């Protein structure tokens, strides 16, 4: 299926300076931050990760959160304005409080150069070959998932390969069998040593 035309896409067209760059899409809650119990807590490595991507990739934030919350959260870890656009809760893709599937084809980008980083398996079921799942961040204990993800993303930006080919051959990634609430099962990529919370038990 071809990517939607820009007029049908969920976000604006790429800025001129981003044309030709990879598009890296990040979830927000429990991927980059934790905010279930009071103030926003930034996941270790989030600031460094954003700095490493600033100006080198088109970074998109895709969240089921509300606009004001998402904008304030981004300010807590994105000091160089790496995030180019924020896609928030929207009836065109969300379903109820839990959000919905984040189909990368709906962004109007070249899907061979678009990657999503998520903690929830259900959100990536439409594009498992272009997604990396990370464990839920709960602001407890040590956490190195984003720091271990960084060299994988750096390698992608330097590779010039399609996202799908790069993920399939990267030795720093594993594939985990996931089960989502609907009962559907599929395999998804994750950084080795960081099993997704949604891994089938």
Integer Cα distance of 35 and 57 in angstroms: 26
Closest CA to 27 of 51, 43, 7: 43
Mind listing the pLDDT tens digit for each residue in 136-177? 999 998 999 999 999 999 999 999 999 999 999 999 999 999
Q: What is the DSSP letter of 177?
A: E
Q: Would the CA dihedral through 45, 62, 124, 141 be positive or negative?
A: positive
Q: Judge whether 56 lies within some domain.
A: yes
Q: Determine what percent of the chain is predicted with pLDDT higher than 90.
A: 81
For the chain, the domain total comes to: 1
Q: Judge whether 197 lies within some domain.
A: no
Q: Please give the pLDDT value at position 14.
A: 95
Q: Judge whether 198 lies within some domain.
A: no
3-state helix, strand, coil in the chain (%, to 5): 30, 20, 50
Q: Judge whether 28 lies within some domain.
A: yes
Q: Determine what percent of the chain is predicted with pLDDT higher than 70.
A: 93
61 neighbors 87 (Cβ within 8 angstroms): yes
Neighbouring CB atoms inside 10 A of 104's CB total 23
pTM of the model: 0.93
Question: What does each C-alpha distance from 136 to 4, 60, 88, 175 come to in angstroms?
Answer: 31, 19, 19, 17
Closest CA to 104 of 85, 83, 131, 86: 131
Closest CA to 114 of 129, 100, 125: 129
Q: Judge whether 200 lies within some domain.
A: no
Q: What is the DSSP letter of 10?
A: S
Q: Judge whether 59 lies within some domain.
A: yes
Provide mean pLDDT across the span 50-63. Answer: 97
Q: Judge whether 44 lies within some domain.
A: yes
Domain range for residue 169? 6-191
Integer Cα distance of 65 and 88 in angstroms: 6
Q: What is the CATH number of the domain that holds 16?
A: 3.40.50.1000
Integer Cα distance of 69 and 21 in angstroms: 28
Task: Give the residue carrying structure tokens 């990370």.
Answer: 134
Mind listing the pLDDT tens digit for each residue in 71-125? 999 999 999 999 999 999 887 777 654 457 899 999 999 999 999 999 999 999 9
Q: Judge whether 182 lies within some domain.
A: yes
Among 8-12, 49-53, 119-123, 151-155, which is the least confidently predicted range?
8-12
Closest CA to 23 of 146, 147, 109: 109
Q: Please give the pLDDT value at position 93.
A: 75
């Amino acid at each position: 299926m071809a990517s939607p035309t820009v007029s049908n896409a969920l976000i604006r067209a790429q800025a001129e300076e981003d044309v030709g760059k990879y598009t890296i899409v990040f979830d927000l809650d429990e991927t980059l931050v934790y905010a279930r119990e009071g103030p926003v807590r930034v996941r270790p490595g989030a600031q460094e990760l954003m700095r490493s991507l600033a100006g080198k990739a088109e970074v998109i934030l895709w969240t089921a959160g509300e606009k004001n919350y998402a904008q304030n959260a981004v300010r807590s870890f994105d000091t160089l304005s790496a995030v180019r656009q924020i896609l928030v809760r929207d009836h065109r893709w969300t379903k109820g409080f839990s959000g919905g599937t984040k189909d990368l084809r709906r962004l109007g980008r070249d899907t061979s150069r678009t990657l999503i980083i998520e903690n929830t398996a259900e959100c990536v079921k439409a594009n498992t070959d272009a997604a990396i799942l990370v464990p839920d961040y709960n602001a407890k204990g040590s956490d190195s998932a984003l720091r271990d993800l960084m060299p994988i993303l750096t390698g992608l930006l330097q590779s010039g390969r399609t996202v799908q080919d790069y993920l399939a051959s990267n030795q720093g990634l594993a594939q985990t069998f996931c089960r989502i609430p609907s009962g559907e099962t599929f395999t998804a990529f994750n950084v080795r040593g960081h099993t997704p919370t949604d891994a089938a038990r």
